[in-house]
Amino acid sequence: MSQHRTARRLAGLGGAAGATALLLALTACSTPGAGAADTPGVTDDTVTVGTHHPLTGPAAAGYSTISAATKAYFDYVNDQGGINGRTIEYLVKDDGYNPANTQTVVRELVQEDEVFAILNGLGTPTHSAVLDYLDQNAVPDLFVASGSTSWNDPETYPMTFAFNVDYVVEGAVLAQYAADEHPGAKVCVLGQDDDFGEEFLEGVELALGVGGVAEVQEYSVSNQDVSAQIGAMQAAGCEINMLATVNGFSALAIGTAAKLGWFPMWFSSSSGGDYPTLAGFLGEAAPQLLQGFVSANYLPFGPDGEWVELFRQINDDYNGGADFDGNTVYGMSVGYLFAEALAAAGDDPTREALVAALESGDLAGNGILPLGFSKTSHAAWNGAGITIVDAGVQDFVDAAYEVEGGEVSAVDPAPVPLENAGVPAA
Amino acid sequence: MSEHDTRVDAGAATSGADAATATPAVDAGSAVRPERRPRASTRRLLLTAAGLTVLAIAGTFLLDPYRNYQLALIAAYFCATAGLTLLIGLTGQLSLGHAALMAAGGYGYAITTNAATEAGIEGAARFGLGMLGAVAVSAALGLALGLAAARLRGPYLAGVTLVLVIALPAFAAVFAPVLGGDQGVRIAFDGVPEALRALIAVEQWQAWVAILVAAVCATALALVRHGRLGLRMRAGHGDETAARLAGVATGRVKVAAFAWSAVTAGAGGAVLCFVTQAVSPGAYTLAFSLLLVVAVVVGGLGSLGGAASGSAIIVLLPWAVGALTAALDLPADLGQRLNGNLAVLVFGAILIVVVAWRPAGLAGVARRAVDALARRRRPRSAAVPAGGPRPAASAPEPEASTEPEASTAPEASAPRTTEPTHIER
């Protein structure tokens, strides 16, 4: 077998292929502009949306149940006849919280599955990886599951909308509550060493002034030991510890302090302040350790609320009675807000109509404060309420704050009442 | 010098490590005219490479954007697996840290590109500078690793490379101002050049760039393999003491092998960064590093074609498994659990099957098929006594050309360790 001959044959083949390629180029199937005029993901009786969530990998423990809750809510809506006669199909792809996987699965959703929109993509590093891609392809990028301020940039990313209250607002809300209820207390911050921690600190300083924070400590997700940070905070005499941490690290911080025999007050962002999740991490000691635990929240999480009652019912009927926690409420609230936007987008929803519906400012959502979407702001809410744990029950207290133009002010919570059995109508 | 090389060559051939390429006839030719052999084979190799590249680029016209994106990923992974397969197959050094080397290239590319963007440089010049940055960073890391590799072997070396991948997130966190911690570094988007904009989509352009970089990497590696360095790598791997006696500085050869392998891995990381506009530690996990090793083992150690098919498998298999679980309409929670894990399970199963049944990997299977075809065309010349023991050095045909059905019995008695190091037909 002569290699020479093989090479020549290959080279000849290559040349022929090159010529074929030029011919093919004229009728190429990947030539831009060859797409159909119809709106992707919308048929006469279905609307298909997709998302990327960590179902496996390091972040799965905290967040993998969200997409199941959203899906359960959509199943419920579909059984009620859907939105404007269309059922909602929700495709969930696992990205393992790995930005490279996010790139792949989101392209698959957009190009293969031809989804109408990306809904509630989870994670700052992961979603950052597809931000430009979704913008270039004009795919609505709705309700990103992260409190980074990156999603509220309508000039650069007109299709991207946030869902979480951003970390700056959460920091400011918690710090203002601390200043109002515990004037003169020494406030410290423990933050994740990325946007989460930085922006949260920015918010705390917005309320307290730059000199208002006694001690700032950071942790990295890759290191499961925060005793050095907690030790430094104890040494600095902190009385209120503000946490810009995910649930696992909130529990770690509280547990580590308890081991040192130190019981300061804890104020946590909503991302790391879910009582059922924390209790799961802390075990039997949870009710004592978490007594008086303060957290920001903006969704209807109060145990007696009508939304929670409905969501519990949906969780039992459509989600196999999975554990009901903050993730369940979060996932279903995302579903509700999308259903509301879809209903408002009209009988023949297009991507433009969907974005216009969101920017109109007419949507209400189901939060405890009015929704803040407009042409100039893609932040879902500009404020949050305060929840406190008492005897193992986490509920809202009568305090809420809003951040407007760099000013933090107290507002009255204005929860959206439940209507039409939780199915938005046009 | 040339006489010296010939001796090494002969040594390698008689050791049986390279029975596939260095047939006695070619060796005799090279002894008489030492200048001609490398040049002729180089031209042949370059022609093959050019042909395959044109073929791959032509292929992009047949694919839709998502397939082109997958092709770009395959090409990027191929850069890394090609270097890895050379390293493991030719020198016998196992690296579990190639993901970290890819990351080094990715960070080198991202940081250089961002600096270039700030300096107002765009387009091809920026890409070129980025690639230089990627190569510089990954080569430096590869050299450092190579220096360790020259002194370590087996599990100790694997351990060192393993540490590299595990330490990556912490390293990124410590140097967060430059490397951006867990969020990594993002770069500006590089679209299709103006002249081609009406003709091709972004994904196709990205596939072109990835294919070209992969072609350069694979060609360079093929040249290394065919050249003196490759010969010395094989000599050192076959019998280090004998190679040293023959005057091969095995330590230096190992360092060079690691450096080459690192540079191509870095180039692959740079391409990934170019395609995805970001580099972060989360993209280069230990699991990914192990997946690269799986790719080269399944493809066939030492074979560039094997590395290419292995790369295709690690890109396409998770997608195929995902499509399958979606099509099966499983209960929600079971589907959710299988979604990310089933692919890993299938990889494990494939690995076991390949190692137990076809240690030469896909490349070995293809080689057998081609040889079987060739034998059918020329039945007389390939008449190897079935089952009979044969002296390794005098056998004109590669070992893989034994009758398929006869291969199980006689090979069981012969040491199989050298089989995976076969390089090509």
According to the model, what pLDDT value does residue A402 have? 93
Closest CA to B20 of B261, B364, B355: B364
Residues in chain B closer than 8 A to A223 (CB atoms): 170, 173
- Inter-chain touch B173–A11, beta carbons under 8 Å: no
- Inter-chain touch B278–A55, beta carbons under 8 Å: no
Closest CA to B297 of B84, B110, B12: B84
Helices (H), B180-249: 202-226, 228-238, 240-245
Q: A101 to chain B nearest CA, in Å?
A: 8
According to the model, what pLDDT value does residue B335 have? 65
According to the model, what pLDDT value does residue B393 have? 40
The CA distance from B114 to B132, in Å, is 13
With a cut of 60, say whether residue B87 has pLDDT above it: yes
Measured between CA atoms, the residue of chain A closest to residue B375 is A1
The CA distance from A243 to A266, in Å, is 7
**ipTM surpasses cut 0.95:** no
**Looking at per-residue confidence, does B108 or B18 come out higher?**
B108
- Inter-chain touch A11–B48, beta carbons under 8 Å: yes
Interface probe, candidates B23, B39, B183, chain A, greatest A C-beta count within 10 A:
B183
With a cut of 70, say whether residue B39 has pLDDT above it: no
Q: B272 to chain A nearest CA, in Å?
A: 9
Name the residue among B182, B339, B340 with its Cβ closest to that of A125.
B182
DSSP reduced 3-state for A192: strand
Residues in chain B closer than 8 A to A48 (CB atoms): none
- Inter-chain touch A195–B183, beta carbons under 8 Å: yes
Measured between CA atoms, the residue of chain A closest to residue B184 is A125
- Inter-chain touch A10–B48, beta carbons under 8 Å: yes
Q: Are strands A294-297 and A383-390 parallel, antiparallel or unpaired?
A: antiparallel
- Inter-chain touch A195–B332, beta carbons under 8 Å: no
Q: A141 to chain B nearest CA, in Å?
A: 18
- Inter-chain touch A3–B66, beta carbons under 8 Å: no
Residues in chain A closer than 8 A to B332 (CB atoms): 68, 71, 320
Name the residue among B66, B182, B332 with its Cβ closest to that of A111.
B66
According to the model, what pLDDT value does residue A129 have? 85
DSSP reduced 3-state for A50: strand
With a cut of 50, say whether residue B223 has pLDDT above it: yes
The CA distance from B273 to B209, in Å, is 12
Residues in chain A closer than 8 A to B278 (CB atoms): 99, 128-129
With a cut of 90, say whether residue B158 has pLDDT above it: no
Percent over 90 (pLDDT), chain B:
28
- Inter-chain touch B197–A96, beta carbons under 8 Å: no
Residues in chain A closer than 8 A to B193 (CB atoms): none
Other beta carbons less than 10 A from residue B157's beta carbon: 23
If you ran DSSP here, which 8-state letter would residue A83 be given? B
The CA distance from B411 to B322, in Å, is 39
Residues in chain A closer than 8 A to B53 (CB atoms): 14
Q: Residues of chain A whose pLDDT is less than 70?
A: 1-37, 426
Q: A184 to chain B nearest CA, in Å?
A: 34
- Inter-chain touch A32–B52, beta carbons under 8 Å: no
**How many residues in total does chain A contain?**
426
Evaluate the CA torsion angle B54, B56, B59, B61 in order and state its sign. negative
Evaluate the CA torsion angle B355, B359, B364, B365 in order and state its sign. negative
With a cut of 80, say whether residue B203 has pLDDT above it: yes
| Residues A98/A123, Cβ–Cβ less than 8 Å | no
Name the residue among A100, A222, A223 with its Cβ closest to that of B283.
A100
The mean-pLDDT minimum among A229-233, B143-147, B322-326 falls in: B322-326
- Inter-chain touch B173–A15, beta carbons under 8 Å: no
**pLDDT interval class at B113 (50, 70, 90):** very high
Average pLDDT over residues B189-215: 88
Residue B355 has which token pair? 């190692």
According to the model, what pLDDT value does residue A223 have? 78
What domains can be seen in chain A, in order of their start residue? 5-165+304-381 (3.40.50.2300), 167-297 (3.40.50.2300)
According to the model, what pLDDT value does residue A414 have? 85
Closest CA to B48 of A423, A11, A211: A11
Average pLDDT over residues B108-131: 93
Residues in chain B closer than 8 A to A11 (CB atoms): 47-48, 50-51
Interface probe, candidates A9, A13, A30, chain B, greatest B C-beta count within 10 A:
A30
- Inter-chain touch B51–A10, beta carbons under 8 Å: yes
Computed over every residue of chain B, the mean pLDDT equals: 78
Closest CA to A98 of B88, B244, B169, B195: B169
- Inter-chain touch B64–A29, beta carbons under 8 Å: yes
Name the residue among B50, B61, B425 with its Cβ closest to that of A28.
B61
Beta strands in A362-418 (DSSP E): 383-390, 393-404, 407-411
